[in-house]
Amino acid sequence: MVSSTDPVGTKLRLAVMMERYDTIGADLVNACINDVIVCGARPIFFLDYINMSSLRPDVVEELLGGMAEACQGVNCALIGGETAEMPGVFAEGNFDVSGFVVGVVEKSEMIDPTTISHGDVLIGVLSNGLHTNGYSLVRHVYGLDTDPAPLREHRPELGETLGDALLRPHPPYLEALAPVFSRVKGIAHITGGGLIENVPRMLPDDVTARFDTRAWPFPPIFNTIQEDGGIPRDEMYRVFNMGLGMVLVCDPSEVDAVVNLVPDSMIVGEVFSSSGDEQVVLQS
């Protein structure tokens, strides 16, 4: 049995600015589920916690609708939760929401990242945008805490408003990855801290992951943020997922099968022996 808990971070602030909450419920469920599948587990039930300055039934209904739909999509039971009113803790109109998921996997079938070794291959699975990380930097770049108007501007390079691109829900990767649980040595969910901070969590101390950043396409939202904010490349990779929602590690003999079975996946790098402190190298 495995478990995980997660909020949606400051993406919630953007939802409040736009008065759109349906996607946040899906974000919450999928972020938690993607954390437990890295060990090969399947979610069995989910709980939520909503904390408001004053109860807004319309907002709660939107949040729960998004959660219920996301749970149904991965056959996970939404068994309950807690909704609290705490006047004075949050400014009027603001609130927080967190999720908790429990999953199961046979111990003999758990993915074992200690088997990762020199010569293994990195397989990336594409993201659809920011997911639930990097929104504090986004708010700073666009000055949203002072004026949320940029969220409603249509951006030709995105084909939609900035707000629509930023509120796109965090997708679940369970159904895409479940067919290859037995074929991979490790899975990393690329969340806050990007490739730099998340990939090392699955790596043994004596290896390094080397990525070819030309090997996968970036959703255009990342170029938009980088150009609008004048953000250095290294900072972008420290904050955002930069187009990869999940990274898998497998033996070279399993590469063809994994890429064929997992939609939107591709070879993005390799693992090599290393005695240094740097466990992720980004080449372009």
DSSP readout, the chain?
Answer: -EEEEEE-TTHHHHHHHHT--HHHHHHHHHHHHHHHGGGT-EEEEEEEEEEESS--HHHHHHHHHHHHHHHHHTT-EEEEEEEEE-BTTB-TT-EEEEEEEEEE--GGGS--GGG--TT-EEEEEE-SS-TTS-HHHHHHHHTTTT--GGGG-EETTTTEEHHHHHTPPPPP-HHHHGGGTTT-SEEEE--TTHHHHHGGGGS-TTEEEEEETTSSPPPHHHHHHHHHHT--HHHHHHHS-TTEEEEEEE-GGGHHHHHHHSTTEEEEEEEEE--SS--EEEE-
pTM of the predicted protein model: 0.94
Is the pLDDT score of 276 beyond 90?
Answer: no
What's the average model confidence in pLDDT over 93-100? 90
Residue that the structure tokens 């749970």 belong to:
71
pLDDT in tens, 183-226: 999 999 999 999 999 999 999 999 999 999 999 999 999 999 99
Domain residue ranges of the chain, discontinuous segments joined by +: 2-109, 113-283
Highest CATH level, class, for 2-109: alpha beta
Task: Give percent of the chain with pLDDT exceeding 90.
Answer: 91
Confidence of residue 277 (pLDDT cuts 50, 70, 90): confident
- What integer best gives the mean pLDDT of the chain? 95
Task: Note the pLDDT of residue 120.
Answer: 98
Superfamily of domain 113-283: PurM-like C-terminal domain (3.90.650.10)
What's the average model confidence in pLDDT over 39-54? 95
Q: Lowest mean pLDDT: which of 47-51, 92-96, 218-222, 278-282? A: 92-96
pLDDT in tens, 219-230: 999 999 999 999
Task: Note the pLDDT of residue 275.
Answer: 76
Is the pLDDT score of 78 beyond 90?
Answer: yes
